[in-house]
Structure 1
Amino acid sequence: MHSENGGEFVNHDFQTYFQQHGIIHETTCPQTPQQNDVAEQKNRHLLKTARALLIGAHVSRHHWDAAIVIVVHLINRIPSSVLTFKTLLQVLVQHGPLPTVLVLTL
């Protein structure tokens, strides 16, 4: 797994999980988001989609956090042609057990 060194994935719980499941965790240099293009693109995608959801539904920006949660929920459950029309969670489950923070109803 490749992530930025911002702290979200650099903690004891994640390191233990990675070790138990044989996952190699590589991090970028601190404070260099440009080194993590894929994550930055996904963040932009989430923000643009949440913004479109709020604007399209004529909802106040006060609900920004809920919009992000809804967008992530939907993206994780929409089949993708890249994944042979499976959802992200269906593909992840095939590769081993998910951490408890990711275990959601499929």
Structure 2
Amino acid sequence: MPRRRPATAARPRHRIDWTDTETPMNAHSMPDADVASSGVAAEELKQFVERIERLEEEKAGLQGDIKDVMLELKGRGFDVKAVRTILRLRKKDHSERQEEEAILELYMQALGMA
């Protein structure tokens, strides 16, 4: 049986001694080629972020439109919860939906609910 180290024994820790390392690189210490390439990368990153922000705004607008349609649906006397269930089911493949329904029916029978 292997011997275990007592809980009080100090384990060696791996620490970085920053006094022995070079000064970290920053934009002022980078060679000119690296600054230019990081500028290109920064501009590309900015474009991606702005694109995502525009899409998020569009998404929020669409979600607002869906909410308005659901309120209209409810105002016309339809059950919103049932419509949401139908929307979820329509996204599924027919065979996947049949399998889920069969499992649900089996469980309901096992619980005496059918």
Q: TM-score, normalised by structure 2?
A: 0.25
Higher share of residues assigned helix:
2
TM-score normalised to structure 1 length: 0.26
Query: Which structure is higher in RCO with an 8 Å CA cutoff and minimum separation 6?
Result: 1
